[in-house]
Every structure is written in structure tokens, then in C-alpha cells.
């Protein structure tokens, strides 16, 4: 095996490590970003709906907005319970955060900054493809 073969093996293993760790870490973090986006969407909807519709439309729209608010609140509660155990941060979250940072440092050391950027881009591309292929709503 020559040096390039060894480098390719390392790259594939580091890519796999990055992917699996990032997926696990994202299970914690994605819900927080979703909540931020959901709250922004809610604010935009409320601004648009405020006084824009007839009374008979407004009552039904308010019900829908309230349901969306309840959905956001439930998601936020679930999210906080996943990431935190009481006042303490979930040790699994801490471990995954530290592990992901260590993997990124090792990729940078072994393969360089460009390889780290490439691996991150490949991960994003794969996750985007999964979303676009998903039939879940």
C-alpha cells in the first residue's frame, strides 16, 4: 500500500466518523434551529394576518396560528428535555460536541483545511439530498 492508499483509507474513515458523529449531534441541535425558524415564521404570519382579513376569516386563522404556537411550544419543551437533564446539560450532548470538535481537528491535521471543508460540504449535500428525497411531511 502506498502513501496515497493510506491517505485515502484515513480520509474515508474520518469521513465516516464525521458523518456519524455529526448526525448524532445534529439530533440535538437541529430542533433548536427549527424553533428559531418556526418563531420567525410565526412572527411573519402574525404581522401579515393582523387586521388583514374579514372577521369570519380571522377567527379560523387565529385558531390555526394558535395551533402553530402550541406546536412550537411542544417542540421547544421536547428539545429542552433532550438537551438538558434538569439544570445540567445532557452528557451525551457534551460528549458528541467534544467528539465532533476532535474529529474536525484531526481531519484538519491529517488532511488539511480544504479536506475538512470538502467533508463538511459532502455532509451538507447528503443531508440536503435526504430531505429532498424524503416522502415524510
Q: What is the pLDDT of residues 105-114, one digit of tens each?
A: 999 999 999 9
Structure pTM? 0.81
Q: Report residue 53: phi and psi, to 5°.
A: -125, 165
* Structure confidence by residue, pLDDT tens digits, 53-83: 777 777 788 889 999 999 999 999 998 888 8
Cell of 84: 438538558
Domain map (residue ranges) of the chain: 3-133
Cell of 47: 404581522
Amino acid at each position: 500500500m502506498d502513501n496515497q492508499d493510506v491517505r485515502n483509507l484515513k480520509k474515508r474513515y474520518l469521513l465516516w466518523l464525521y458523518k456519524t458523529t455529526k448526525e448524532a449531534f445534529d439530533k440535538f441541535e437541529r430542533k433548536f434551529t427549527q424553533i428559531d425558524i418556526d418563531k420567525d415564521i410565526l412572527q411573519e404570519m402574525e404581522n401579515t394576518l393582523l387586521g388583514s382579513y374579514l372577521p369570519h376569516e380571522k377567527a379560523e386563522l387565529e385558531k390555526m396560528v394558535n395551533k402553530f404556537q402550541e406546536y412550537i411550544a411542544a417542540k421547544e419543551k421536547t428539545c429542552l428535555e433532550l438537551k438538558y437533564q434538569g439544570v445540567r446539560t445532557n452528557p451525551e450532548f457534551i460528549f458528541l460536541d467534544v467528539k465532533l470538535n476532535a474529529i474536525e481537528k484531526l481531519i484538519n491535521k491529517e488532511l488539511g483545511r480544504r479536506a475538512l471543508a470538502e467533508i463538511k460540504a459532502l455532509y451538507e449535500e447528503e443531508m440536503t439530498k435526504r430531505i429532498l428525497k424524503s416522502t415524510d411531511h
